[in-house]
Structure 1
């Protein structure tokens, strides 16, 4: 029997208006510069951005972005972009000592303030001793 472990991760989202706008389908939208950073979600993590148990993180952006599939291979595991719309950001986490990556969806939105954090719990096989 393979034992499992819960891996609490946090996605920290920051965004701010750029002062510029774009017109899409006849509607004007404010452009925002935004970033999403994966952090350690354990309560007493000394350095939340360190994440030594993660090998790489893939961020899959909305289909309207150029180069929508971004791979980050070392901390900070962050994606930064500029845009006007909200979307479901796919986050694929590759762990050290774990053959299969795990993924989750992060709701990237501009309604929860300029800085917000969402906790996500991933369950993965416990690494061998």
Structure 2
């Protein structure tokens, strides 16, 4: 696992959104090769959410590729129009990867568990758009602020925060120390962030790249103190 640090989140080169996968499934009157497991008809649709959690067509993607279980006759299925509905029949549950392309080559990959526990279920995941083009920026603006919009709002927030408190921690030292931690200590810190972050803490877990990203300046002070104290114990920082 590699740690990536964002400074202040005032970075117009990255914008986050939540995508939603909606799965529907039902039994169908077809013979199953596994008698204990009935045949199912299922479909997965992809949406993007705005800041209020409302669904919108994911028009920011040019195409979406569903990578299904290799037992399917056509395991790699590509769709070019929202809501990128992938419809199939089968009896088994499995995990699929889904490649969402913002251009012909630029893709974001997420993973989805296809299961038959409920007739319909939703899976929301946060994704990061890095270095978006002007066309992509316009598409993303339909569901919230992007780029400089985020930067301006965050700059004002940071200025207000700086007036309210005196920084008791050297964030430059923290950032430098975190990048030098061994694998076990780094995983420990990442778990601390997961367990103690606030709603305002900006993080992203990119499983495909093996990267965990965090904006240190958005962490709550108690969490920052915990990490600072841990780094002191490991002799990675000095007062």
Deviation at 1:7, TM superposition (A): 2.0
2:132 corresponding residue in structure 1: 127
Matched residue count: 124
- Residue 23 of structure 2 contacts residue 44 of structure 2 at CA under 8 Å; is this kept in 1? yes
1:117 corresponding residue in structure 2: 122
- Residue 21 of structure 1 contacts residue 29 of structure 1 at CA under 8 Å; is this kept in 2? no
Distance of aligned partners of 1:109 and 1:84 in 2 relative to their CA distance in 1, 3 Å threshold: same
Structure 1 unaligned residues grouped into runs of 5+: none
C-alpha separation between the residues in 2 aligned to 1:36 and 1:9?
13
C-alpha separation between the residues in 1 aligned to 2:38 and 2:54?
37
C-alpha separation between the residues in 1 aligned to 2:127 and 2:94?
21
1:19 corresponding residue in structure 2: 29
Q: Which has the higher contact order (CA 8 A, sep 6+)?
A: 1
What's the secondary structure of 1:36's corresponding residue? strand
Coordinate RMSD, CA, aligned: 2.2
Q: TM-score, normalised by structure 2?
A: 0.47
The one of 56, 61, 66 equivalent to 1:54 is 61
Q: TM-score, normalised by structure 1?
A: 0.84
Q: Which has the larger radius of gyration?
A: 2
Structure having the larger proportion of residues in strand: 1
- Residue 56 of structure 1 contacts residue 72 of structure 1 at CA under 8 Å; is this kept in 2? yes
Deviation at 1:52, TM superposition (A): 2.2
Structure 2 unaligned residues grouped into runs of 5+: 1-10, 135-239
